[in-house]
Amino acid sequence: MTHSRAAVMAAGGHLPTSGLLDPLLDAKTVKRDLGNISEMCLWRWTRDRQFPAPDLIMGGRKFWHRSSVENWIEAQKTATRSIPPRPRVGLRSSRENSAG
């Protein structure tokens, strides 16, 4: 089953799901959902394998399953929580600054 560009855009940038629970999101929607990142940012993340490759490329347009994007976001949250805070280097306490 093929979908024209007009049909995809009429569906709000989403491909019709035909009853599937995991809709496909176009690049414009993915970029918006990731905080309005640029086309170049999405391309770099995908190239560097920091973001999943598209689940479907159709007519030169890229689409991701919503679950692929949501799983990536959750993995980023987990990775961020597991990074210990960096020590503050070169900062002195206010007591040390007033003593000098």
**pTM strictly above 0.95:** no
Among 47, 68, 41, 44, CA closest to 56:
68
pLDDT in tens, 72-93: 999 999 887 777 777 888 766 5
Question: How far, in Å, CA of 39 to CA of 63, rounded?
Answer: 13
CB count in 10 Å sphere of residue 61: 14
pLDDT tens-digit map of 46-72: 999 999 999 999 999 999 999 999 999
Cβ–Cβ under 8 Å, residues 5 and 59: yes
Nearest Cα to Cα of residue 66 among 12, 25, 33: 25
According to DSSP H, which parts of 48-100 are helical?
66-82, 94-99
In the block, residue with structure tokens 């970029």: 31
